């Protein structure tokens, strides 16, 4: 049985359609990435799946309960953690865990046991009596996750959980997400960081309320970018991009920091004569701007999404 | 039930960690009470006076002596000319200027009417009218003495006919001290501040820092949240009442004449309204700043002005008087003054108590519904 089963979910605010007829399912124990730009309808979808916002039409079953008919049961069976740190800063670590554990009905031995588990995973053993507001962001984030899954929900929703966290803490946080998913909890996560999306088992991408792609990271790359991708490292990247756009070999082109990712119109093996010709043409195009490095690369999810979103526009 | 208990204990922990809250609930009421106890004083104990005595006669000196002897007038300045009196009034050094013309004694002795000029600083109309009342009394008895003396000297024997002398008794506040009248109502003001202001702030704070969002996705129900939030603040309200009453009793010597139980019960009814208003303010404010300003300027201040706390309702225009019927504090002030000063009980105050109760239930209901809707 799937953990989450979304069918034709739609939410309208007046005449504005925030989420437009999306359907997908999430398997048990999966790490499921939910991606989209700001305002694409991510938060609205999460709110509906958590049972706090009623859909205009369509429905979803979350851990076996209908979000429109039985939102209270949904709430009891999920955990939720948002980007905003949502524990009480003026309570100690222990008091926060007591409070949130208690709300989900944990008590006595079980509460004690789950509390020590939460402390362990957040690395806050022996810091139970620290005021939560004094913890560093990385610790706070892990504690919040610990509090969100303390009651062992079947599904945990993480809404941009790593916003504003340094790379090392982000990595530790994702290790934790893996541990949680391995213990059988489904993780539904939204993120802005596409490198994080690579850690997900499956991903969907929504844009303007419409689902535009879904699959595992590898599938997505294969399905949407089967063609060769070149990375061109040079100076004056933006001028070069302008010159590349009108060329007949260009499918799409975008800037990645100091380099350019150019998706070609077909797939070439590295030894292909045609590819060599294209490389030459690029070198000619760029003209007299110093060193130009051209390499074939494996496309990243970012290539996939930029490509997908560009196609839409 | 368990969740509510959990919530309440959480609120108290947070309260104890916040020294600002501590000050607002426990220290501010006492300070406010003490300051108001001394400042909210409209009694006029003595009138600073400047006298320009042009006559410098026996009779004029006698009049000045009578003024001073009354205990109400304090002669600040014996002026040498009219300008001095004027400038004393301008500088607010005196409240009252008296000018005795140079024919004062002559006119009196020749059985004519003697005029004296009395000028008041009317910028505070209340004080001026009290002072003019004092002076009228003194002048009346002064002229009576003068006429008796003249009659005596003329040798004519007349018998005075009976006249009416009022024998006034003041009940409930025999010394007519404003303080006794003002202080009990402070219980109402303190409750307003704690319940409206702090409640709305505490809820909006959760919204601001994001914990409310977290609570919404938990199985906690809106009613549990409302009770969990409101119970701690009503307990703090009761603590503040006890504090205020103790200071009133042991510092100012104002005892509660009526039943304490009845006082607490009506305070609870009053708090239903104010907690409800606090809840309501929290639903229309997104930041703590907004909550602060909304509760202070849109709720608390109009409520105090329209409650009869400082301005008597009877002297308001009719239309405004009707509005005051909608102000819960109006009823609470009548009740608390009645209990503290007059020792009234339920039999005398049941109407006010009933209105307060109904208002409380109504406001609480509306606000709770709004709060619930707001969460979704």
pLDDT digits (tens, 9 = 90+) for B207-230: 888 899 899 999 999 999 999 999
User: What residues of A are in contact with residue B13 (Cβ under 8 Å)?
Assistant: 90-91, 95
The residue among B1, B206, B218 with the most chain A CBs within 10 A of its CB, best to mutate, is B218
Nearest CA in chain B to A133: B209
Q: Reply yes or no on whether the pLDDT at A164 is more than 90.
A: no
Q: Tell whether B374 is within 8 A of chain A (Cβ).
A: no
CA atoms within 13 A on the CB side of B331: 25
Q: What's the CATH number where A238 sits?
A: 3.30.70
- Count of structural domains, chain A: 2
Q: Tell whether B17 is within 8 A of chain A (Cβ).
A: yes
Q: Tell whether B39 is within 8 A of chain A (Cβ).
A: no
Instruction: Assess whether A231 and A215 both reside in one domain.
Output: no
pLDDT tens digits for range B70-123: 888 888 888 888 888 889 888 888 888 999 998 888 888 888 888 889 998 888
Is B218 strand, coil or helix?
coil
Q: What region, left, alpha or beta, does residue A108 occupy, with left being phi > 0 and alpha being psi -120 to 50 degrees?
A: left
Q: Reply yes or no on whether the pLDDT at A26 is more than 80.
A: yes
Q: Rounded to an integer, what distance in angstroms lies between the CA atom of residue A92 and that of residue A133? A: 8
Instruction: Assess whether A71 and A202 both reside in one domain.
Output: yes
Q: What's the CATH number where A201 sits?
A: 3.40.50.300
Inter-chain CB proximity A95 and B214 less than 8 Å: no
What value, to the nearest 5°, has the Cα angle with vertex B29 and ends B26 and B31?
A: 105
What's the domain range around A279?
A: 222-312
Strand partners, A11: A19
Instruction: Assess whether A216 and A228 both reside in one domain.
Output: no
B88-95 contacts at long range (C-beta below 8 A, 24 or more positions apart): B88/B50, B89/B50, B89/B119, B89/B121, B92/B121, B92/B123, B93/B48, B93/B50, B94/B48, B94/B49, B94/B50, B94/B121, B95/B47, B95/B48, B95/B49, B95/B120, B95/B121, B95/B127, B95/B128, B95/B131
Instruction: Assess whether A97 and A230 both reside in one domain.
Output: no
CATH 3.40.1710.10 in chain B, residue ranges = 47-154
Inter-chain CB proximity A52 and B216 less than 8 Å: yes
Instruction: Assess whether A103 and A213 both reside in one domain.
Output: yes
> Which candidate from A51, A82, A95 shows the least CB-CB separation from B210?
A82
Instruction: Assess whether A71 and A195 both reside in one domain.
Output: yes
Q: Reply yes or no on whether the pLDDT at A162 is more than 90.
A: no
The residue among A67, A103, A111, A146 with the most chain B CBs within 10 A of its CB, best to mutate, is A103
Q: Tell whether B90 is within 8 A of chain A (Cβ).
A: no
User: What residues of A are in contact with residue B218 (Cβ under 8 Å)?
Assistant: 75, 80, 100, 103-104
Helices (runs of H) and strands (runs of E) counted in chain A: 11, 14
pLDDT tens digits for range B115-145: 889 998 888 777 888 888 888 888 888 888 8
User: What residues of B are in contact with residue A53 (Cβ under 8 Å)?
Assistant: 376
Quick one: pLDDT at residue B226?
Answer: 92
Instruction: Assess whether A44 and A137 both reside in one domain.
Output: yes
Q: Reply yes or no on whether the pLDDT at B163 is more than 80.
A: no
Instruction: Assess whether A139 and A17 both reside in one domain.
Output: yes
| Of the candidates A229, A196, A231, A197, the residue with the CA atom closest to the CA atom of residue A213 | A197
Q: Rounded to an integer, what distance in angstroms lies between the CA atom of residue B111 and that of residue B91? A: 38
Q: Give me the total of CB pairs closer than 8 Å, taking one residue from chain A and one from chain B.
A: 66
Instruction: Assess whether A82 and A119 both reside in one domain.
Output: yes
Inter-chain CB proximity B214 and A80 less than 8 Å: yes
Q: Which residue has the tokens 């009990």?
A: B184
Quick one: pLDDT at residue B2?
Answer: 85
From A174, A200, A221, the end of a domain falls on A221
Mean pLDDT of all residues belonging to chain A? 88
Give, to the nearest 10 degrees, the angle between helix B328-337 and helix B260-284: 160
pLDDT tens digits for range B298-352: 999 999 999 988 788 888 899 999 999 999 999 999 999 999 988 898 899 999 9
Q: Reply yes or no on whether the pLDDT at B42 is more than 70.
A: no
Helix locations, chain A, DSSP H: 42-49, 71-76, 93-103, 108-121, 137-149, 167-182, 194-197, 217-224, 237-244, 273-286, 301-312
Quick one: pLDDT at residue B175?
Answer: 63
pLDDT tens digits for range A175-223: 999 999 998 899 999 987 888 888 899 999 888 888 888 899 888 888 8
Nearest CA in chain B to A49: B217
Q: Which CATH class is domain B47-154?
A: alpha beta
Instruction: Assess whether A217 and A227 both reside in one domain.
Output: no
Quick one: pLDDT at residue B334?
Answer: 92
> Which candidate from B2, B3, B14 shows the least CB-CB separation from A88?
B14
The percent of residues in chain A predicted with pLDDT above 90, rounded, is: 42
| SS percent in chain A: helix, strand, coil, step 5 | 35, 25, 35
Quick one: pLDDT at residue B43?
Answer: 67
Is the Cβ–Cβ distance between B52 and B85 less than 8 Å?
yes
Instruction: Assess whether A94 and A234 both reside in one domain.
Output: no
Is the Cβ–Cβ distance between B50 and B84 less than 8 Å?
yes
Nearest CA in chain A to B210: A86
CA atoms within 13 A on the CB side of B261: 1
Please report the ipTM that was assigned to this predicted complex: 0.81
> Which candidate from B3, B13, B209 shows the least CB-CB separation from A95?
B13
Q: Reply yes or no on whether the pLDDT at A161 is more than 90.
A: no
Q: Reply yes or no on whether the pLDDT at A67 is more than 80.
A: yes
Instruction: Assess whether A193 and A293 both reside in one domain.
Output: no
């Amino acid at each position: 049985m799937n953990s989450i089963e979304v069918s034709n979910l739609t939410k309208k605010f007046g005449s504005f359609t925030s989420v437009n007829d999306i359907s997908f399912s999430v398997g048990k124990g999966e790490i499921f990435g939910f991606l989209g730009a700001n305002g694409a309808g991510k938060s609205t979808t999460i709110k509906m799946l958590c049972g706090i916002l009623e859909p205009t039409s369509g429905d979803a079953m979350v851990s076996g309960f209908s979000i429109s008919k039985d939102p209270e049961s949904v709430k009891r069976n999920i955990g939720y953690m948002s980007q905003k740190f949502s524990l009480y800063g003026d309570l100690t670590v222990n008091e926060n865990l007591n409070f949130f554990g208690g709300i989900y009905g944990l008590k006595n031995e079980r509460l004690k046991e789950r509390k020590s588990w939460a402390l362990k995973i957040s690395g806050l053993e022996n810091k139970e009596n620290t005021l939560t507001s004094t913890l560093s962001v990385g610790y706070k984030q892990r504690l919040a996750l610990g509090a969100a899954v303390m009651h062992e929900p079947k599904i945990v929703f993480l809404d941009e959980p790593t916003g504003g966290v340094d790379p090392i803490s982000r990595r530790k946080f994702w290790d934790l997400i893996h541990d949680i998913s391995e213990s059988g909890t489904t993780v539904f996560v939204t993120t802005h960081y596409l490198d994080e999306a690579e850690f997900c088992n499956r991903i969907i991408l929504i844009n303007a309320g419409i689902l535009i792609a879904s699959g595992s990271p590898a599938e997505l790359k294969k399905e949407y970018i089967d063609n060769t991708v070149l990375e061109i490292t040079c100076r004056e990247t933006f001028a070069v991009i302008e010159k590349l756009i009108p060329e007949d070999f260009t499918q799409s082109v975008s800037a990645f920091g100091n380099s350019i990712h150019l998706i070609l119109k077909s797939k070439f093996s590295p030894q292909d004569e045609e590819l060599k010709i294209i490389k030459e043409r690029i070198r000619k195009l760029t003209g007299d701007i110093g060193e130009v490095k051209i390499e074939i690369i494996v496309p990243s999810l970012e290539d996939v999404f930029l490509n997908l979103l560009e196609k839409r526009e | 039930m368990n969740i509510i208990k959990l919530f309440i204990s959480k609120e108290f922990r947070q309260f104890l960690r916040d020294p600002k809250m501590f000050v607002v609930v426990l220290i501010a009421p006492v300070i406010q009470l003490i300051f108001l106890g001394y400042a909210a004083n409209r009694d006029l104990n003595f009138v600073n006076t400047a006298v320009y005595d042009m006559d410098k006669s026996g009779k004029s000196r006698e009049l000045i002596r009578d003024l001073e002897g009354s205990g109400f007038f304090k002669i600040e300045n014996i002026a040498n000319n009219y300008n001095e009196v004027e400038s004393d009034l301008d500088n607010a050094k005196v409240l009252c200027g008296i000018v005795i013309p140079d024919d004062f004694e002559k006119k009196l002795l020749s059985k004519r009417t003697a005029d004296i000029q009395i000028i008041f600083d009317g910028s505070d109309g209340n004080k001026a009218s009290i002072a003019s009342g004092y002076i009228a009394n003194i002048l009346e008895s002064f002229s009576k003495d003068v006429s008796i003396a003249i009659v005596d000297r003329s040798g004519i024997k007349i018998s005075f006919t009976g006249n009416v002398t009022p024998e006034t008794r003041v009940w409930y506040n025999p010394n007519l001290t404003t303080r006794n009248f003002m202080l009990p109502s402070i219980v109402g003001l303190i409750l307003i501040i704690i319940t409206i202001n702090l409640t709305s702030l505490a809820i909006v704070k959760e919204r601001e820092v994001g914990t409310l969002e977290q609570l919404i996705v938990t199985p906690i129900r809106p009613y549990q949240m409302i009770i969990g939030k409101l119970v701690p603040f009503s307990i703090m309200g009761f603590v503040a009442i006890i504090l205020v009453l103790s200071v009133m009793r042991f510092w100012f010597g104002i005892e509660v004449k009526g039943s304490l139980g009845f006082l607490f019960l009506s305070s609870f009814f009053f708090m239903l309204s104010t907690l409800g208003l606090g809840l309501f303010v929290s639903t229309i404010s997104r930041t703590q700043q907004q909550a602060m300003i909304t509760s202070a300027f849109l709720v608390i201040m109009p409520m105090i002005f329209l409650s009869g706390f400082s301005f008597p309702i009877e002297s308001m225009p009719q239309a405004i008087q009707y509005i005051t019927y909608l102000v819960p504090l109006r009823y609470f002030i009548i009740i608390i003054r009645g209990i503290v000063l007059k020792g009234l009980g339920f039999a005398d105050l049941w109407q006010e108590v009933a209105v307060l109760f109904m208002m409380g239930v109504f406001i609480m209901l509306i606000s709770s519904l709004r709060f619930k809707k707001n969460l979704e």
